[in-house]
Amino acid sequence: MTTGLQYIAQNAHDVIVGDKRILFHIPTTSLFDLDEMSGDILDLFKEKTNVTQSDMELHFKGRYAADQVKGVVEDFLDMEIIKGDALLRPAPPKIKIENYPLSTIILNVNTGCNLGCTYCYKEDLTTPVKGELMGFDVAKKSIDLLLREGKSRDRVNVVFFGGEPLSNMPLIRAAVDYAESRCQEEGKKVDFSLTTNATLLTEDIIDYLNDHKFGIAISMDGPKAIHDKNRKTIGGKGTYDVVSKKAKMLLERYTARPVGARVTLTAGVVDVVSIHNHLKYDLGFAEVGFAPVTSGDMTLYNLSNEELYDVFQNMKKLGEHYLSEALENRNNGFSNMHQMMTDLYEGTKKSLPCGAGIGLLAVDHEGDLNLCHRFTGSDIEKYGSVDTGIKKKELGAFLEGRADREGTGCKTCRIRNLCSGGCYHESYATYDDINMPTYHYCDLMRDWIDFGIGVYSKILHENPRYFEQHVSPRTLLNTGRTFNPTAMGENA
Ligand code: SF4
Ligand code: SF4
């Protein structure tokens, strides 16, 4: 330690939560309580560009035993939040993507939708009469591709998307039969899911979905006045009455899995708390997830910067409610918050923002392969087809480019392993460039994660069993100062 040690700011971030100080270890997405001594040592490294052995002796003499200081410094070195020249490890090699272990295939079963929601982002959306339906041949080949490329998976997912997926029920029924029999032959489990506007649900369809244990999300924007603003029939009439009636029928009848609501937040719609309360407590959805729109084609519907700020402030209010419920051992169903708690609990460490292109692909009605459901019908390059297979070289080049943070603001960003540059479709819609990180709300995202760290830490200290009971118990808890390299998950 004679030549000195230096702080690596990009690997550590500390947050005050009540009377505690929490260290967010960025490379592993792990949280550690900083006791007074560890905090003081961290501060010394933050203050001085180079800290020598004699600096430490001078600073801490009479306050902390030399052995204890040495122990903390060694932990910090292991965690790579400080470094010494002699101890500098080589930069990790660039990520090479050679395998595409598909776990999910999204089938765009109809480009047509029976509604005319004003803000709809779908690139290939048309009215029902003009809708292009996927044929069984394409669905069958898609499932074969999933099984071929997902050989290593014990469990695979088939997702039905549209337009409105329920407008092509014959294809859904045929694809489910085929997937179930093929998966049985291969000894795999298969899960099905769909997102629907609910208007075409009948008792018969609900019972069918129940029998096949579909994961179901309903697109619904909140109470009548908010929902009817944008979610309209093709003739321009609000759909709240029919959607809420169908949603209630589904929620009463459906027993296979919890049903979620997916809310799109657009210009003028920022009241996250009352939307959540209506969907969760008046209608009875198990979970409510919010998707703020900032980069749609129709700028009229995009949230302004001020509105986006309000959305995040209101998400924090709902997050406070999540916290008070979690302390009583209940999940309030705010799924954005619950996802963040899951990521922090599991030590999620993402090299890429989502599974698009690597764990999942979307098939359009013609059988072409798209990064995800949001790209079907776009002018972005297709990554193969169900006939010719995945264009692995091209897909690999794109994914490796996005995983390489060199020269981007993400390289040193403290939430780089959670955000990982953001949604490709947001990049496409905002910058017309899927390679560009989504820089337009980085500060708000960082602030949101800091808020989540506070919530996580309070739950962990006051009711840790919440995580065991409500979040998947996959990894160990990091409650102490000691670095535990086995407690992180790699979710590329
Ligand atoms: S997009 Fe912004 S918030 Fe996300 S990792 Fe990059 S710099 Fe950070
Ligand atoms: S690219 Fe965006 S929309 Fe597509 S799967 Fe990823 S996060 Fe979702």
CA of residue 416 to ligand 1 center, whole Å: 6
Which stretches does DSSP call E strand in 82-134? 82-83, 104-110
The C-alpha R_g of the chain, in whole angstroms, comes to 25
Confidence at residue 125, expressed as pLDDT on a 0 to 100 scale: 64
| Residue 159 lies inside a defined structural domain of this protein | yes
- The answer on pLDDT for 483 being more than 50 is no
Please check whether residues 189 and 73 belong to one and the same domain.
no
For residues 240 and 358, membership in a common domain is answered with: yes
Is residue 201 scored above 90 in pLDDT? Answer: yes
Quote the mean pLDDT of the chain: 89
Do residue 177 and residue 292 come from a single domain? yes
Measured N-to-C along each axis, helices 442-462 and 305-327 cross at an angle, to the nearest 10 degrees, of 10
Residues 359 and 216 in one domain: yes
Residue 250 included in any domain: yes
Give CA separation, 153 vs 58, 139, 146, 150, 157, in Å.
57, 20, 10, 5, 10
Ligand 1 and 353: CB distance under 6 A: no
Please indicate, yes or no, if residue 238 is contained in any of the structural domains: yes
**Same domain, yes or no, for 117 and 241?**
yes
31 located within any domain: yes
User: Which of 406, 415, 425 should be mutated for ligand 1, with most atoms under 8 A from CB?
Assistant: 415
Q: How far is it, in rounded angstroms, from Cα 300 to Cα 295?
A: 10
298 and 272 both lie in a single domain: yes
Write out pLDDT tens, residues 6-60: 999 999 999 888 888 999 999 988 888 899 999 999 999 999 989 998 999 999 9
Structure tokens at 319: 């997050």
Cα(428) to ligand 2 centroid in Å equals 11
Q: What's the gap in Å between 74 CA and the centre of ligand 2?
A: 40
Please tell me the predicted confidence (pLDDT) of residue 491: 25
CA-nearest of 466, 249, 231, 161 to 338 is 466
Do 40 and 78 lie in one domain? The reply is yes
**pLDDT value of residue 116:** 86
Is residue 415 in some structural domain?
A: no
Domain that holds residue 3: 1-92
246 with 118, same domain? Answer: yes
118-161 confidence digits (pLDDT tens):
877 666 666 666 789 999 999 999 999 999 999 999 999 999 99
DSSP code of residue 488: -
Residue 491 lies in a domain: no
If asked whether residues 155 and 295 sit together in one domain, one would say yes
Tell me which ligand sits closest to the C-alpha of residue 443. 1
Give the residue carrying structure tokens 């020269």: 407
Assess whether pLDDT exceeds 50 at residue 475: no
Asked whether residue 14 falls in the same domain as residue 153, the answer is no
CA atoms of 364 and 382, how far apart (whole Å)? 10
What is the structure's pLDDT at 128?
A: 66
CATH of the domain at 149: 3.20.20.70
Total of domains in the chain = 2
Note whether residue 276 is domain-resident. Answer: yes
In a domain, 481, yes or no: no
Do 30 and 114 reside in the same domain of the chain?
Answer: no
Sequence letter at residue 165: P
